[in-house]
Structure 1
Amino acid sequence: MNAHVGFVGLGHMGGPMAAHLVKAGYRVRGFDLAPEARAAAAEAGVQVVGAAPEAAAGADVVITMLPVGRHVLSVYQEEGLLAAAAPGTLFIDCSTIDVADARAAHEAAVRAGHRALDAPVSGGVVGAEAATLTFMVGGGAEDLPQAEPLLAAMGRKVVHCGPPGAGQAAKICNNMIVGISMIAVSEAFVLAESLGLSHEALYDVASTSSGQCWALTVNCPVPGPVPTSPANHGYRPGFAAPLMAKDLGLAASAARAGGVNAELGLRAAELYAEFAQGAGAHEDFSGIVRVIREGENTRPPDGSSPG
Structure 2
Amino acid sequence: MSTKQVALYGLGNMGYLVAERIAGKFSLQVADLDQAAVAKAQSALGAVSIQKPEDLAKTQVVVLCLPSPAASQAVLAQIAPHLPADAVVVETSTVNPADIHASARILAKHGIAMVDASIMAGVSQMAAGSAMLLVGGEEAALASCEDVLSAISDKRIYFGPSGAGAAAKVINNAVAHAVMVVVAEAGSMATAAGVDCEKLVGLLSDKQMGLHRPLTHRYAERIMQGNYEGGMPLEAARKDSVLALELAQSLQVPLFAIQGAHTAYDIALRAGYGRDDYAAIAKVWADWERPAAPSAQG
TM-score, with structure 1 as normaliser: 0.64
Q: How does 1:61-72 map to 2 (within 5 A)?
A: 61-72=61-72
Q: Give the deviation of 1:46 after TM superposition.
A: 4.3
Distance, in Å, in 2 between the alignment partners of 1:76 and 1:158 is 25
**Kept in 2: contact 1:131–1:153 (CA 8 A):** no
Q: Kindly state the Cα deviation for residue 148 of structure 1 after the two structures are TM-superposed.
A: 2.2
Q: What is the aligned partner in structure 2 of residue 56 from structure 1?
A: 56
Following superposition, the deviation at residue 43 of structure 1 comes to: 4.1
Task: Judge conservation of contact 1:8–1:52 (CA < 8 Å) in 2.
Answer: no
Q: Distance in 1 between matches of 2:196 and 2:52?
A: 52
Matches within 5 A, 1:225-244: none
Instruction: Give secondary structure in 2 for the equivalent of 1:97.
Output: coil
Secondary structure of the equivalent of 2:7? strand
Q: Tell me what 2:210 maps to.
A: 211
CA distance in 2, matches of 1:54, 1:118: 24
1:269 paired residue number: none
Q: Partner of 2:93 in structure 1?
A: 95
Q: What is the identity, as a one-letter code, of the residue corresponding to 1:42?
A: Q
Matching of residues 36-47 of structure 1 within 5 Å:
36-47=36-47
Q: Is the 8 A contact 1:61 1:92 kept in 2?
A: yes
* Corresponding letter in the other structure for 1:12: N
Decide whether aligned partners of structure 1 residues 143 and 193 sit closer, same or farther in structure 2, where only a CA change above 3 A counts: same
- What percent of counterpart residues are identical? 28
Q: Is contact 2:138–2:162 with CA below 8 Å preserved after alignment?
A: yes
Unaligned 5+ runs, structure 1: 214-295
Which structure 2 residue ranges, 5 or more long, are not aligned?
213-251, 260-298
How far is 1:71 from its partner? 0.9
Count how many residue pairs are aligned between Structure 1 and Structure 2: 215
The answer to whether the 8 Å contact 1:8/1:65 transfers is yes
The answer to whether 1:132 aligns with 2:137 is no
What SS does the corresponding residue of 1:67 show, helix, strand or coil? coil
Judged with a 3 Å threshold, the aligned counterparts in structure 2 of structure 1 residues 163 and 76 are, in CA distance, closer, same or farther, namely same
- The answer as to whether partners of 2:188 and 2:253 remain within 8 angstroms in 1 is no
1:112 aligns with 2:110: yes
The structure-2 alpha-carbon separation of the partners of 1:168 and 1:30, relative to structure 1 and needing over 3 Å to count, comes to same
- For residues 54 and 137 of structure 1, the distance between their equivalents in structure 2, rounded to whole angstroms, comes to 29
1:198 deviates by 2.9
Deviation at 1:189, TM superposition (A): 1.6
Aligned 8 A contact 1:8 1:55 in 2:
no
Alignment partners' CA distance in 1, 2:34 and 2:54: 16
Indicate the larger mover: 86-95 or 45-54.
Answer: 45-54
Aligned amino acid, residue 60 of structure 1: Q
Per-residue displacement from partner, 1:68-125 (whole Å, max 9, x unpaired)?
1111111110xx2112212221111112223212101112112112111121111121
Displacement of 1:55 in angstroms is 5.9
CA distance in 1, matches of 2:70, 2:19: 22
Q: Secondary structure at the match of 2:159?
A: strand
Alpha-carbon contact 2:23-2:47 (below 8 Å) kept: no
SS of equivalent residue, structure 1 residue 156? coil
Q: Aligned partners of 2:55, 2:152: CA distance in 1, in Å?
A: 19
My pick for the range that moved more, 2-11 or 126-135, is: 126-135
Map of 1:13 onto structure 2: 14
Q: Distance in 2 between matches of 1:185 and 1:22?
A: 40
- Runs of 4+ in structure 1 off by over 4 angstroms are 296-299
Correspondence 1:27 to 2:21: no
Structure 1 residue 52 displacement after superposition? 6.2
CA contact (8 A) 2:42 2:49 kept: no
Q: Does 1:197 align with 2:198?
A: no
Q: Is the 8 A contact 1:21 1:150 kept in 2?
A: yes
What's the offset of the Cα at 1:159?
A: 1.9
What is the rounded CA distance, in whole Å, between the counterparts of 1:212 and 1:55 in structure 2? 51
Alignment of 1:168-183 (within 5 A): 168-183=166-181
